[in-house]
Structure 1
Amino acid sequence: MLKTTVYLPEELEVRLDAEAAATGISKAELIRRGIAMLLDNSARPKQARALPVFDSGRPLTPEAMDDALYEHIKERAARR
C-alpha cells in the first residue's frame, strides 16, 4: 500500500471518528472503502487498457503458427 495524506474538515473528522468507534473499523479502512465506492460507482466510462504491441521479427501465417506450435509440443513430448 502507498501512504497518502488527506486533509479533512473538522466535521468529517468527527463523523469519521464516531463511525470508526461504532463499527470497530479503522479510519484508514473506512476512507479506503469510501474511495473504492466512489470510484466503483463513477459514471465516467471505464477505459480498457490497450494491449501491448511488439514485433516478433517474423510474421507467420496461422497455419505456420500451428505448425510451429505442433513441432514445439512434439519436441517437448520427445524429451520426456
Structure 2
Amino acid sequence: MVKTTVYLPDELEVRLDAEAAATGVSKAELIRRGISMLLDASERPRNDAPLPVFHSGRSRDADEMREDIYQQIKRRSARR
C-alpha cells in the first residue's frame, strides 16, 4: 500500500470519526471503500488493453519481468 495524506473539512472528519466508531471499521478503510465506490461508479471509459509482451532478445528472471510489468502499469496509471 501507498500512504497518502488527505485534508478533510472538519464536518467530514467528525462524520468519518462517528462512522468508524459506529461500525468498528477504521477511518482508513472507510476512505479506501469510498474511493473504490467512486471509481467503480465512474462513467469514464477504461483502457483495459492487454499488458505488452517484452522481447529483449535475452532471458530474464522473474524479478526483472516483474519490475518491467510494474513500470508499465505505473506509466499507465500516471496517464489516467
* TM-score calculated relative to the size of structure 2: 0.63
Structure 1 segments of 4+ aligned residues over 2 angstroms from their partners: 53-57
Question: Could you tell me how far apart the structure 2 residues matched to 1:56 and 1:23 are?
Answer: 51
Q: In the TM superposition, what are the counterparts of 1:1-80 in structure 2 within 5 Å? A: 1-54=1-54
More relative contact order, 1 or 2 (CA 8 Å, 6+ apart): 2
**1:49: how far off?**
2.9
Question: Could you tell me how far apart the structure 1 residues matched to 2:27 and 2:56 are?
Answer: 50
Q: Where does the alignment leave 5 or more consecutive residues of structure 2 unmatched?
A: 58-80
* TM-score calculated relative to the size of structure 1: 0.63
**Identical-residue share of aligned pairs (%):** 79
SS of 1:4's partner is coil
Measured on the aligned residues, the alpha-carbon RMSD in Å equals 1.8
